[in-house]
Amino acid sequence: MSEAWNDYLAPHPFEFLLLRTSPTQYLVRLEQIEPVPLELPALFGEWLYNLRSALDHVVWASAAHASGSIPPAGEDGLQYPIYDTEKAWKRNLWRLRPFPEHQVEMLHTMQPFNSDLDANFLGWINRLARIDRHRRLAMWTARVAEAEPVFQIPSGVAPALEWGQWVFQEDAAILLG
């Protein structure tokens, strides 16, 4: 996946445009001029699938160790627990019956609902894997993480640079002021 991504980025698939919006104001716009290769969403989906499967295997192996039985009892219901709400956690506690209480507590503390949902990596993995599995391939776009535009300013002019918010619209990332 990283090789395909780097191959896509190598020829710089972006274009900078300088748009005059008034006699004294310009807007720098960045456009993605080359679409992301179709293989990237498929490769990303495979990565998500393998990552989620590895988490599920950790739970299966831990249940086998805790119970001293291979396969562990209730193996059909075993999965790595990742829940966005306490209600969903409680509804699925039956899946963790083979585990000692201290392991259940540890898994509980790592749940997305016990942190910032937008910053919890387990939550993101689970949501993206579910979207990829059941709805559509994960969508891809590229963004420029660092840009150092060069401006030529007429003498006697004091420029005021303002950075706005990046907004993705269709095939363009638009910087709003």
| CA within 13 Å, CB half, 165 | 3
- Please indicate whether residue 156 or residue 174 has the higher confidence score (pLDDT): 156
Predicted confidence band of residue 141 (pLDDT cuts 50, 70, 90): low
Q: Per the confidence metrics, is the pTM higher than 0.75? A: no
What strands, in cross-sheet order, belong to the sheet with 165-169? 14-22, 25-32, 172-176, 165-169
pLDDT of 168 strictly over 70 = no
Residue 57 has pLDDT above 90, yes or no: yes
Segment 74-115, tens digit of pLDDT: 899 999 999 999 999 999 999 998 899 999 999 999 999 999
